[in-house]
A and B are shown apart, each in its own frame.
Chain A
Amino acid sequence: MQLTNRRKEVSHKEQSIAEKIYLPAILKGMAITASHLFKKSPTINYPEETRPIAPVYRGQHVLKRDDNGAERCTACGMCAVACPAEAITMESAERKKGEEALYREEKYAAVYEINMLRCIFCGLCEEACPKEAIFLTDRLVDTEFERGDFIYGKDKLVEKMTERIDVSKRQTPEVLEFKKKPGLKHNELFDSSKQLGKGKKH
Chain B
Amino acid sequence: MPKVTIDGIEIEVPKGTTILQAARMIGPEVAPPTMCYYSKLKTSGGYCRTCIVKVTKGSAQNPNPMPKPVASCRTEVMDGMEVQNVTSPEILEARKGVVEFLLINHPLDCPVCDQAGECSLQDLGYEHGAAKTRYEFKRREFERIDIGKYVQLHMTRCILCYRCVKTAEQITDNRVHGVIHRGDAGEISTYIEKAIDNEFSGNVIDVCPVGALTDKTFRFKQRVWFTKPVEAHRKCTTKSATGQTCSGKVRLWYKGEDILRVTARKDQWGEVEEFICNDCRFEHKKTSDWTIEGPSPVNRHSVISQNHYNHLNELKVEVMKHQKALGFININKRP
Contact = CB atoms under 8 A, between A and B. Distances in A.
Interface of A: 74-78, 80-81, 86, 92-94, 105-107, 130-131, 183, 185, 196-200, 202
B307 to A, nearest CB: 7
Contacts of A78: 111
B109 interface: yes
Contacts of B219: 94
A199 B143 contact: no
Given A81-B306, A183-B136, A199-B138, A76 B220 contact: no
15 contacts: A76-B111, A76-B116, A77-B226, A81-B226, A81-B303, A81-B307, A92-B220, A92-B222, A107-B112, A183-B136, A197-B141, A199-B140, A199-B141, A200-B141, A200-B143
B141 A76 contact: no
Interface in B133-176: 136, 138, 140-143
B110 interface: yes
Contacts, number: 52
B223 interface: yes
Contacts of A92: 220-222
B47 interface: no
A15 B219 CA distance: 86
B290 interface: no
Given A199-B138, A202-B185, A74 B306 contact: no
Given A81-B226, A199-B138, 16 more contacts: A74-B111, A77-B223, A77-B225, A78-B111, A81-B225, A81-B303, A81-B306, A86-B307, A105-B109, A105-B111, A107-B220, A130-B110, A185-B109, A197-B143, A199-B141, A200-B143
Nearest 5 CB-CB pairs, A to B? A76-B111, A77-B223, A197-B143, A199-B141, A92-B220
Contacts of B184: 202
Which of B181, B223, B226, B303 neighbours the largest number of chain A CB atoms within 10 Å of its CB?
B223
Given A77-B223, A94-B219, A197 B142 contact: yes
Contact of B111 (A131, A183, A199): A131
Interface residues of B, number: 24
A196 B112 contact: no
A20 B111 CA distance: 78
Contacts of B222: 92
Contacts of B221: 92
Nearest to A73: B111
Given A81-B307, A105-B109, A76 B143 contact: no
B155 to A, nearest CB: 9
Interface string B286-319: 0000000000000000010011000000000000
A130 B223 CA distance: 15
Which of A77, A105, A183, A185 neighbours the largest number of chain B CB atoms within 10 Å of its CB?
A77
Nearest to B108: A185
B111 A130 contact: yes
Given A76-B111, A92-B220, A130-B111, A200 B225 contact: no
Nearest to A83: B307
A86 B138 CA distance: 38
Interface in B218-266: 219-223, 225-226
Contacts of B142: 197, 200
B141 A196 contact: yes
Nearest to A110: B220
Contacts of B181: 202
